[in-house]
């Protein structure tokens, strides 16, 4: 069942400095074995901002002030599970360029590595990332819809992207 977690609301955050973005290798759940940003599901009663700050502390061992979060995307991932059932996960994506501490290895995210944003390891990332991630790393605010097959190993159709002026 690893990789078939049903998640309905989640956050995702990319640490940036200059032309670089920090990616970690996921060790479990959705995205296992892929380079990714930091994040996860919201807990009951938690706001999106509280969730992303908690995830950054748990997964990267860093502290971020809420005012340093820059919301850059909302992504609807429609996931088909191996039993044929479908669930939609709404992921709120943030960039952050100021934090306290040095990003560290955690149980869920290993090998934190800085990559040039123009040379990301898309062959070892989630399939839809190559479509939308370069846009947000280059200053765009977007709403995205992507449909995945079982275990997020295939994309079912084209990734739909709509540029917006920003988020409230």
Q: Which domains does the chain have, with CATH numbers?
A: 9-164 (3.90.79.10)
Q: Is residue 71 predicted with pLDDT exceeding 50? A: yes
Query: How far from each other are the two terminal CA atoms of the chain, in whole angstroms?
Result: 36
pLDDT score recorded for residue 4: 57
Rounded distance between C-alpha atoms, residue 49 and residue 135, angstroms: 22
1 pLDDT band, cuts 50/70/90, is very low
State mean pLDDT over 76-94. 91
Give the chain's count of helices (H) and strands (E): 2, 9
- Nearest residue to 43 via CA among 78, 10, 74: 10
Residue 129 has a pLDDT of 97
Q: What is the mean pLDDT of the chain?
A: 93
At residue 50, the 3 state secondary structure works out as: helix
């Amino acid at each position: 069942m690893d990789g078939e977690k049903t998640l309905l609301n989640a956050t995702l955050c990319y640490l940036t400095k200059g032309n670089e973005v920090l990616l970690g290798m996921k060790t479990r759940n959705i995205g296992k074995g892929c380079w990714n940003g930091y994040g996860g599901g919201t807990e009951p009663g938690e706001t999106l901002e509280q969730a992303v700050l908690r995830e950054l502390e748990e997964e990267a061992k860093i502290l971020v002030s809420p005012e340093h979060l820059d919301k850059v995307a909302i992504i609807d991932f429609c996931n088909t599970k191996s039993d044929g059932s479908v669930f939609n996960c709404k992921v709120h994506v943030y960039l952050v360029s100021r934090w306290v501490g040095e990003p560290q290895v955690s149980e869920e995210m290993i090998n934190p590595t800085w990559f040039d944003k123009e040379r990301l390891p898309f062959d070892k990332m989630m399939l839809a990332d190559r479509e939308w991630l370069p846009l947000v790393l280059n200053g765009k605010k977007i709403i995205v819809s992507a449909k995945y097959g079982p275990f997020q190993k295939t994309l079912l159709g084209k990734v739909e992207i709509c540029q917006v002026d920003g988020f409230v």
